[in-house]
Every structure is written in structure tokens, then in C-alpha cells.
Amino acid sequence: MTTTSPDDNRLFDAFGDGDERALEEAYTRWSPLVYTLALRALADVGEAEDVTQKVFVRAWRGRATFDADRGPLSAWLVGITRNCIADVHAERARRLRLEEAVAQEPPPAPDVGLDVAERLMVASELDRLDEVPRRVMHLAFYDDLTHTQIADTLGLPLGTVKSHIRRSLARLRTRLEVTE
Amino acid sequence: MTHIDEETLAIVALDDAAALPAQREHLSSCPTCSADLDELRRTVALGRSSRGVDLDRPGPEVWGRIRDELGFEPVATTPVAAETAGVAELPAAPERAAAPELPAAPERAAALRPRRRSLRLALWLPITAAAAVLGVLGGIAGSGLLRDAVGTPGQKVVSEARLEALPGWPGAKGTATLERARDGALTLVVDMRPGTGTAPAGEPLREVWLMRSDLSGLVSVGLMDGTHGTFTVPVGVDVRRFPLVDVSAEPDDGDPTHSGASIMRGTLSSPVPS
């Protein structure tokens, strides 16, 4: 059940074609996701910005290796982000070893697990839904309303609510197909 | 029994109790449907746990650094002539000279982002050819507040406003961004935080206005559908004279004047504090 939106297909194509505006659009859409992941993992604004820069530079230079069949662009970017974050951690550990006479275990890295990445990705995708489906999903997720209660609350036909739920969940699920 | 349709699976993923006995039975014996349901349940769990997750945004200069590193032409896509023509009606910009120091960012902006960001921004500003335009309308001083620092592709953000709730609309909040297209046309992009500014009685029409600072004059730029709107600023409307962005709730009564019920309001960032 891959439901890539036409919008995404266009962006993939333009990205592959080397259209600079596609990078700009990808940056507009996903730099908050990339940056927030990096900021949470590194707890440093400057380093998080550096990672953001690296991620989009690498994505652009490596765009030929992007394969839309293996997962969405966002998941690919998250994969690159995780690599860049790991690089910063490795560099920090190396510095620490150099600085300290006694070699120590580097401090445990903050949680940058898949779960955090996925939660951020879902949050960012929820944000991008149109207003009505977004309200439907907020009521379903955060207010725990049933589909009938949502229909009552928003004054929408039951079928419309069901269809918003199906489409939004499918879309979120697609975005979670992470490229390893 | 045939497989359970996607719609039902989605509903059951949200609420186990929604499954009918026959569907339950099918799920217990059908690997396809139960695997689908498991994935949807996982999506739901992630969705529920994403409550309150806020995404941060990188500083506005990061995009410039990416462009630099990749060797994209910084303003090659924006003919200088068009830019100049676009600002011809604006006064000469003594502010431009002051831009490198970019001294006191407005208090609110300073409180919202690290100080050093605005300093680094100040260093980046003068290298950009666009600085001439940015210096005039100067909005980039407030870029850190913005949802999307780079704005719409092909457009340059020239000014911004953070929109705050008026009494009676608790929680309403948004941003307004003034963008200049390559041909010089100005566009006002208004974003309202989802789920706010809704009257209990229903969904009012929302209208976006540009106003004088003292509210003594106003121009409508259009009705906003939902929580996002992109409006062309009519040629001849001088944004410097109407720097206030106002989103109002309008009754569906055909009366073209402002209802007096403003939901949120904010001032487009002035060039450089003087």
C-alpha cells in the first residue's frame, strides 16, 4: 500500500533532474525535521545547523543514489541525518579521548532512535495535512474520540470522517517506511 | 469472508472496540489483514505519542550556506533589474548601511532565538546581493520567527510578522510573510495555527487586511480559506504605510467593511530599528 502523493512524485523527479528548486522545496519541507532530530541528539544549535547543512548538501550530491521505490524522500533524508549525527558523536568521542589522559567511555548518546525520528516525522506530516483531515486526526489521536464522535463534533458525514482517517493513516504510514 | 476493507481497518486501528465479531474472527485467521492492522496500529501509536512534539527550525542563514557550499548562484535566478524595479517606489535605504550591525533585534524576536543567531545572520546579510532589497524592507531581522525561513521557492522573504491573538480569541496565533517574486510582485502569505481562531458557533469567514499602525486606514487583501492564504498585494498599496497585518472574523453578510472582530494581528518587521 504505497500511496505516494503526486506532489511527492513531482518533487522526486525534479530532485533527480537536478532542479535546484527541488532542493529548496525539500529544504522548506524537511529542514525542521532534520534540524530537530539533530538538535535533540546533539543539544547544540551550531552543530545541529551544521548537520542540517551537511544533510542537504549530501542529499543533493548523492541524489543519483536516491531510489523512490525504497522509501519516501523524507525517510532517506532521515537516514542521512542519522549518519551525520553519528559522525558528530564519533568526533566528540575522539576529541574526548584525546583530551583525557585516561581513556574513558564516551557519554551515552542521547536517544536518536528510530522512535524519535518517527514521532517527529509523524508530527511534521500531521502538520501538513489539510485543515479538515488534520482536525479529524487530532480528535482521533489526542482526544481519543471515536469516528462517530468526530463526525458529530465536526458536523461531517460519517463516511467523510472514515475516509479522512483511512487516507491520513495511509499517508502517515507511507512516510514511516524508513530506508535503512 | 473477503478481506477487511482499508477504511474499517483504519477505524479498528484507532479503536479495537469498533471491530464486529465477524471481523475479529477474520483477523484472527488472516495474516494479511492482521499484518496490515498491526502496521496501522503502530502508526496510530506513533501519532498519539507525537502529541506536543514541536519541530524547531534552523536559522535562516543555513539555507544560504547550503547554496554557497553547492555553488548555486545566489541570485542568478533573480534578475537585478527586476529587483530594482520592484523597489523603485521605496525610498532610498539609509538602513542598508546599518544592516551589518543589525543591532537590537526587536525584543520579542531576541527572546525567541539565541542571540548569536542574529549575529551570524548579520554577517551573512551583506554578502547576499539580495541584501539591498532585504535592507529596504528589512524583514529578515525577524526571520528566526518564521515557519519557513526560505519562503516559497522563487520568492524572497522581505518582511515578516508574528500574529498574536486579540481578546476573545485565546490561542489564536500565526505568521504573515511578505515575499517578493522575481518580477517584483509582492505576496502576503498568512498562516494561522491550526485549530485556533474558530468561533464556538462555527467557522467564520476570515479576511486578511493590511492596516496603518494606528488602525486609521485599512486595505483588504482577501478572504482566507482555512488556516493558510496567499494574497497578492495590489500594486500601489504601500506596505510601509500599512504595516499591520490583521485577520478578522467576518460574518457572511456581504458587508465589505471590517467586522470589527479581529482574531489576530501583528506588524510586519520594520527594516532596522532606528
Q: Which residue has cell 537516514?
A: A79
Is the pLDDT higher at A103 or at B246?
B246
* Partner A contacted by B196 (CB < 8 A): no
B93 by DSSP, 3-state: which? coil
* Partner B contacted by A35 (CB < 8 A): yes
Angle between helices A73-99 and A114-128 (to 10 degrees): 140
Interface with B, mutate which of A10, A15, A55, A56 (most B CBs under 10 A): A56
Grid coordinates of B160:
515578516
* Partner A contacted by B82 (CB < 8 A): no
Distance CA B58, CA B71 (A): 20
**A103 CA to chain B: closest CA distance, Å?**
34
Is the pLDDT higher at A3 or at A64?
A64
Q: What is the pLDDT of residue A52?
A: 97
Contact A176 B11 (CB under 8 A): no
- Residue A108: pLDDT band (50, 70, 90) is low
Q: What is the pLDDT of residue A70?
A: 78
Q: What is the pLDDT of residue B91?
A: 37
Contact B150 A134 (CB under 8 A): no
Q: List the beta bridge partners of residue B164.
A: B173, B265
* Partner A contacted by B194 (CB < 8 A): yes
| Partners of residue B119 in chain A, C-beta under 8 Å | none
Q: What is the DSSP string of chain A?
A: -----HHHHHHHHHHHTT-HHHHHHHHHHHHHHHHHHHHHHH--HHHHHHHHHHHHHHHHHTGGG--GGGS-HHHHHHHHHHHHHHHHHHHHHHHHHHH-SS--PPPPPP---HHHHHHHHHHHHHHHS-HHHHHHHHHHHTS---HHHHHHHHT--HHHHHHHHHHHHHHHHHHT----
Name residues 12-41 of chain B within 8 A of A (Cβ).
13-15, 18, 36, 39-40
We find that the CATH architecture of domain B151-267 is Sandwich (2.60)
Q: Are strands B218-224 and B173-181 parallel, antiparallel or unpaired?
A: unpaired
Q: What is the pLDDT of residue A15?
A: 76
**B61 CA to chain A: closest CA distance, Å?**
9
Q: What is the pLDDT of residue B89?
A: 35
Instruction: Indicate if the pLDDT at residue B94 is higher than 80.
Output: no
Q: What are phi and psi of B173, to 5 degrees?
A: -165, 150
Instruction: Indicate if the pLDDT at residue B9 is higher than 90.
Output: yes
Q: Which residue has cell 528566526?
A: B144
**A28 CA to chain B: closest CA distance, Å?**
6
Lowest mean pLDDT among A13-17, B116-120, B195-199: B116-120
Distance CA A164, CA A135 (A): 10
Interface with B, mutate which of A30, A122, A177 (most B CBs under 10 A): A122
Is the pLDDT higher at A148 or at B127?
A148
Q: What is the pLDDT of residue A7?
A: 58
Instruction: Indicate if the pLDDT at residue B109 is higher than 50.
Output: no
Distance CA B86, CA A84 (A): 41
Q: Encode pLDDT of B205-231 as tens digits.
A: 889 999 887 777 788 899 888 888 899
Q: Encode pLDDT of B120-154 as tens digits.
A: 333 333 333 333 333 333 333 333 333 344 455 66
- Mean pLDDT comparison of A13-27, A52-66, A98-112, B152-166, highest-scoring range: A52-66
Contact B58 A124 (CB under 8 A): no
Lowest mean pLDDT among A18-32, A138-152, B142-156, B211-225: B142-156
ipTM: 0.79
Q: What is the mean pLDDT of residues A106-116?
A: 57
Interface with A, mutate which of B14, B116, B152, B189 (most A CBs under 10 A): B14
Q: What is the pLDDT of residue A104?
A: 54
Residue type, B65: R
Q: What is the pLDDT of residue B198?
A: 57
Grid coordinates of B205:
469567514
* Partner B contacted by A44 (CB < 8 A): no
Q: Chain-centre distance of CA A101, in angstroms?
A: 40
Q: Are B272 and B138 in contact (CB under 8 A)?
A: yes
Q: What is the pLDDT of residue A100?
A: 67
Lowest mean pLDDT among A23-32, A52-61, A119-128, A170-179: A170-179
Q: What is the pLDDT of residue A73?
A: 84
Chain B residue whose CA is closest to A28: B148
Contact B194 A135 (CB under 8 A): yes
* Partner B contacted by A158 (CB < 8 A): no
Distances (CA, A) of B57 to A65, B148, B156, B256: 27, 8, 18, 38
Q: What is the C-alpha radius of gyration for chain B, rounded to an integer number of angstroms?
A: 24
Question: In terms of pTM, does the model score above 0.90?
Answer: no
Task: For residue B156, give every residue at least 6 positions away whose Cβ sits within 8 Å of its Cβ, in sequence order, or none.
Answer: B78, B130, B133, B134, B179, B180
Q: Give the mean pLDDT of chain A.
A: 83
Q: In this complex, which of A21, A33, A61 lies closest to B55 when CB atoms are compared?
A: A33
- Mean pLDDT comparison of A111-115, B78-82, B250-254, highest-scoring range: B250-254
Q: What is the mean pLDDT of residues B29-51?
A: 91
| Partners of residue A173 in chain B, C-beta under 8 Å | 39-40, 43
- Residue A120: pLDDT band (50, 70, 90) is confident
Which residue in B157, B144, B131 sits closest to A45, CA to CA? B144
DSSP code for B197: S
Distance CA B200, CA B186 (A): 34
Residues above pLDDT 70, as percent of chain B = 64
| Partners of residue A170 in chain B, C-beta under 8 Å | 6, 10
Contact A130 B226 (CB under 8 A): yes
Domain boundaries, chain B: 6-47, 151-267
Q: What are phi and psi of B208, to 5 degrees?
A: -105, 135
Residues above pLDDT 90, as percent of chain B = 21
Task: For residue B170, give every residue at least 6 positions away whose Cβ sits within 8 Å of its Cβ, in sequence order, or none.
Answer: none
Is the pLDDT higher at B78 or at B242?
B242
Contact B14 A131 (CB under 8 A): no
Instruction: Indicate if the pLDDT at residue B8 is higher than 90.
Output: yes
